[in-house]
Chains A and B, each alone.
Chain A
Amino acid sequence: MTGIALVIASALLVGLGALVVLFWALSSGQYDDLDGDAERILIDDDS
């Protein structure tokens, strides 16, 4: 039974961790300009 409890607890932790990361990414504006970010990768910064 302790095994189940551990599995559930750790799964919840991992899930919550992923949620926290996603919420952080959202609020720091990483989803604000999906079109721009897709294009920006093509900009040659070295020149």
Chain B
Amino acid sequence: MTLLLRPAETADDLTRYVHGEAGSRSFEVAVNGARCAGCIAKIEAGVRGIAGVREARLNLSTGKLRVGWEGAAVAPQAVLRRVRDLGYGAQPFDAEATLDADAAQGRLLLRCLALAAFGTVFTVGLTDALWYGGDDMSAAVRATFYWLAAAIAIPVTLYAGQPFFRSAWSSLARRRTNMDVPISAALLLSLGLSLYQTLLRGQDIYFDAAVMLVLLLLVGRYLDFRLRNRARGAARHLLAMQSLLARRIKPDGDSETVSARDLVPGDRVILASGERAPVNGLLESQATEVDNSLVTGESAAVPVLPGAPLQAGAIITGPAAVLRVTARVEDSLVADLARLLEAGQQTRSRYVKLADRVARAYVPLVTVLALSVLAGWLVVGAPLATAATHAIAVLIITCPCALGLAVPAVQVVATGRLFRDGVFVKSGDALERLAEIDLAVFDKTGTLTTDVPVLANAVPPAVLEDAARLARASRHPLARAVAVAAGAGPVAQDARETPGEGIEGLLEGEVCRLGNAAWCGAPRDGSARLWFRRGDHTPVGFEFQETIRPEARKLIAALSMRHIAVEMLTGDRGGPAARVAREAGIANWCAGVGPREKAAHLEQLRAQGRRVLMVGDGINDAAAMALAHVSIAPGSATDISQLASDMVIRGDTLMPVVEALDVSRRARRLVLQNFALAALYNVTAIPLAASGLVTPLIAAATMAGSSLLVTLNALRLSWRRAA
């Protein structure tokens, strides 16, 4: 997946995303965040509400919203703004070649699968009639049956076998071999041999075997495709995260909309509340607050004073701000991380899947075997036709049909089971990689801890109870923390909340206030984030700390029991880090680690030969996660780290990490068992085929049998619960 920034795009430029002639135009938008029927209804109704829009349809699988209208009445910007106003990310969609190619490939595979199923039913029906009743038929009827089987099997195999032929051809063109080379050879040779035998009125007809082979292999291929396709879907979501347009202040004081790419250091940019900083810069206007969750993973709003630096990706949550640009888009933090992420993903794509490792040994072996059988029969004086028949029988028998199913069948069952247990696995080989890990690295904030604050300092009980009477009236996280600390109790009369400031209410006739420092007239220093003042008394400060996930300790213990070492890396200060590490039971930890150092640390571990699982949630973890052997993100993670990770946990607990590890290890065991089963089948069948004892009926039956065995073995993964 590519994470490159989009090309330059000014406000007027959007017209290039608009397709179609005047009178009937359409425009495609990548929508981020839509997940359910409610989202579909909301977005489609919202966009249809724009005057002139005739059609709006959201594809939930690809995240693509197609908007059609007549004439030139609708501005693409209006569509984007409407979707963003509804609370979803939206970017003009550059009809990406890869995505369309994916859809086309899925359709081709389904079409091939249907055709192969059709062909199998008829060819097997016709040939079985011949095996069992052939002797009672007249020669003319037998010939008709053979030719009918040929007429169905040959076109079906040639069409439905396309995915294998193409892959084999492109692999041969690069002077390599893959599993599809022997598959294609077996298919083509068995068709040729059967046709030859049909012409000669012979007995060795492999039409049914060829069609069945295509069908079974296509099942494996389609399962694999579905798995990979789901993973790619996540890639698009990054598109909607990068701000593209910026409002630049011209020297005369007016503002103009420009592409973020055109910003140069020294430019001044206006950011409205809710907008994301497109580039790094310094705050020039009044103090404001930003949500840095995209950058640091910490979601609390951070105050920014005039002159302070602001990083790309920070969202303004306070009053509108003016930013003086200090770095171009390509030098800004988000682009930097995207580059790191891409580099990590490239390293990972060098991982050789188990099935490919087997294929590398398998292909030469089978080729040599078939050739030596051919040579052997020629040496003992058999005619060329007989020798070729036996050699082809060996090729057909050894065709990695069960091997083709061995891995995808297990992975589909495993991902299905993990999905039910709350883990979304993005790719099949992620399971293979997870089974190999020996070290788990955790991020702290948002991963081992939650965003829910708890009261940290000792406050006199009477003050706490008074504060709680106000706090119970509010849903603000800090107020909730005070209410939780005080327990259940009465609520103050006439408690009124001023958003962003605090709560005011009467307690026994005295005006009391709970809120920020200014709200309570308290000094704005120290670590207190919430203040309480009763009447004219001195304000009392409340300090908070983050909560450790209740299951953290259990999780670390469970991992140690499975002989996995655990480390914690955090960007936070040493004090809180030490507390979390102690409470979770982690001996090795490192505080004050920035995104780049995290990535460097992972790189170093990789160089030492460690296979690392990285669990993190912030954008600061994304690069490290992409570099890790395998990575898992909690569902609360930022989009970019969910994108970088191999698995995403749904729900608010980390325990599925252990579950995923167990399932992946068992999946690996089952895959190896499946390989053994397939090998066993080959070892017994090859001598029979080489000596010319295998009839086409036996070949077809054993092929179906071994595939069934492998599939049933894979299903065991969902039957037995993990210990």
Contact = CB atoms under 8 A, between A and B. Distances in A.
Interface of A: 1, 8, 11-12, 15-16, 18-19, 22-23, 26-27, 31-36, 39-44
B111 A26 contact: yes
B41 interface: yes
A33 B62 contact: yes
Contacts, number: 53
Interface in B215-247: none
B181 interface: no
A16 to B, nearest CB: 8
Contacts of A33: 59-62
B361 interface: no
Nearest to A36: B60
A1 to B, nearest CB: 7
Contacts of B106: 31
B122 A40 contact: no
Given A8-B126, A12-B122, A41-B37, 18 more contacts: A19-B114, A19-B115, A22-B111, A22-B114, A26-B107, A31-B106, A32-B59, A32-B62, A33-B62, A34-B61, A35-B61, A36-B58, A36-B60, A39-B37, A39-B60, A40-B40, A43-B37, A43-B41
B668 to A, nearest CB: 29
A35 B61 CA distance: 6
Interface string B118-131: 10011000100000
B37 A27 contact: no
Contacts of A16: 118
Interface string B55-91: 0001111100000000000000000000000000000
Contacts of B126: 8
Given A19-B114, A43-B37, A43-B40, A35 B121 contact: no
A12 B115 CA distance: 12
Given A1-B141, A12-B122, A36 B111 contact: no
Given A15-B122, A39-B36, A43-B37, A23 B111 contact: yes
Contacts of A39: 36-37, 40, 60
B58 A8 contact: no
B272 interface: no
A8 B141 CA distance: 13
Which has the most chain B C-beta neighbours within 10 Å: A1, A27, A43?
Answer: A43
Interface of B: 36-37, 40-41, 58-62, 103, 106-107, 110-111, 114-115, 118, 121-122, 126, 141, 148
B121 A36 contact: no
Given A34-B61, A39-B60, A8 B148 contact: yes
9 contacts: A11-B122, A16-B118, A22-B114, A23-B111, A33-B62, A36-B60, A39-B37, A39-B40, A40-B37
B60 A35 contact: yes
Chain B interface mostly: helix
Contacts of A32: 59, 61-62, 103
Contacts of A41: 37
Contacts of A18: 118
Contacts of A36: 40, 58-61
B58 to A, nearest CB: 7
8 tightest Cβ-Cβ pairs between the two chains A and B:
A36-B60, A42-B37, A39-B37, A33-B59, A35-B60, A35-B61, A43-B41, A33-B61
Contacts of A11: 122
A41 B111 CA distance: 26
A8 B61 CA distance: 40
A42 B141 CA distance: 55
A31 B114 CA distance: 13
B110 A31 contact: yes
Contacts of B111: 22-23, 26
Contacts of B121: 15
B148 A31 contact: no
Contacts of A40: 37, 40
B456 to A, nearest CB: 43
Contacts of A15: 118, 121-122
A33 B545 CA distance: 45
Contacts of B37: 39-43
Contacts of B59: 32-33, 36
A6 B239 CA distance: 58
A17 B235 CA distance: 39
A18 B59 CA distance: 27
B356 to A, nearest CB: 29
Contacts of A8: 126, 148
A30 to B, nearest CB: 10
Contacts of B62: 32-33
A44 B61 CA distance: 20
B113 to A, nearest CB: 10
